[in-house]
Amino acid sequence: MRTLKTVETTLDIIEALQELDGAGVSELASHLDLSKGGVYNHLATLHEREYLVKDGAEYRLSHRFFNLGHTVKHRTDLYNIAKPELEHLAEFTGGHAGLIIEEFGKAIYLHREIGNQGVSEEFSARRLEGSDHLHVSSCGKAILAHLPLEYVEWIVETHGLPAKTPDTITDVDSLLVELVEIREQGYAISDEEAVQGIRAIGVPILDTDDNVLGAIAVSRPKSQLPDELAYGLLPQLVIEAANIIEVNLVTQNPSQVIRY
């Protein structure tokens, strides 16, 4: 596939500005191993098109990216229909209720509702930034369990299985065994695999042909989520919410939300 080098450079600069939380011409040129003149021309064009703001000698991403993301997010039926159920789950369980989808083999966090017994809003905001590996989270594993094996193998080969904590699964054979179990029981558990001290229950959202559209999860500090809840009541609550979302996706009518 043929790609345009200038477009690749522009995207590299945008991603570097996100990673560095703003930077000047010299820092970007050094970070990306590009000429200062070339970097400046890209920055000037992005600034002229209002995709960057300039603060002294530094450039930062503008809110135009937020507007683009907001448009994409709110045009997604899954987000619009899942949001009320996430609100209900967060209120009912006291934990964080989240929604992710898979794109290009990574987890994209679409939305998270914060319950009154969850962790900080700062933690929640960080989880909504960018993408993450699928194998570390309950949502991600729930999605992986319903993807074709060939695609799962491609994801592992492309992105690897890096460890987020000492409990993260980093062995492909162990992951594949767990994915079979997840598919059979209908839910996934992340037991301090993404964040130490946090347990989460994830359930896939499937269409009428059993294709996976995304997944929802509830997470709480492990001290607040003992085994009898993690392996008993909570999975059933999340499964019920996922089923409601699936039904409402078929009817495409988020204004008439089924409740527990």
CATH architecture of 5-66: Orthogonal Bundle (1.10)
Question: Each residue of 63-104: pLDDT tens digit?
Answer: 898 888 777 776 678 999 999 999 999 999 999 999 999 999
Name the least confident of 42-51, 131-140, 191-200, 245-254.
Answer: 245-254
Helix (H, G, I), strand (E, B) or coil at 222: helix
Q: Tell me the three-class secondary structure of 59-92, residue by residue.
A: EEECCHHHHHHHHHHHCCHHHHHHHHHHHHHHHH
The structure tokens 């839910």 sit at 187
pLDDT band at 118 (very low <50, low <70, confident <90, very high): low
Average per-residue pLDDT in the chain?
89
Nearest CA to 214 out of 222, 205, 223, 202 is that of 205
* 76-251 maps to CATH 2.60.120.380: no
Tokens of 192: 């301090």
Count of CB atoms situated within 10 Å of the CB of 95: 27
Per-residue pLDDT, averaged over 167-176, amounts to 96
Per-residue pLDDT at 126: 46
Q: Is this structure's pTM higher than 0.85?
A: no
pLDDT, position 4: 87
Average confidence (pLDDT) over 137-156: 97
Distance of CA 239 to the CA centre of its chain: 19
Rounded to an integer, the average pLDDT of 42-59 is 94
Contact 60, 22 (CB under 8 A): yes
Distance from the Cα of residue 60 to its chain's centroid: 23
Confidence at residue 192, expressed as pLDDT on a 0 to 100 scale: 94
State which amino acid sits at residue 185.
Answer: Q
Is pLDDT of 255 > 60?
no
Structure tokens at 201: 């229950």
pLDDT value of position 254 = 46
Q: Where are the domains of the chain?
A: 5-66, 76-251
Residues 174 and 172: their CA atoms lie apart, in Å, by: 5
Which band of pLDDT confidence, cut at 50, 70 and 90, is reported for residue 57?
very high
> 227 falls in which pLDDT band (50, 70, 90)?
confident
Among 211, 187, 204, 97, smallest CA distance to 143 is for 204
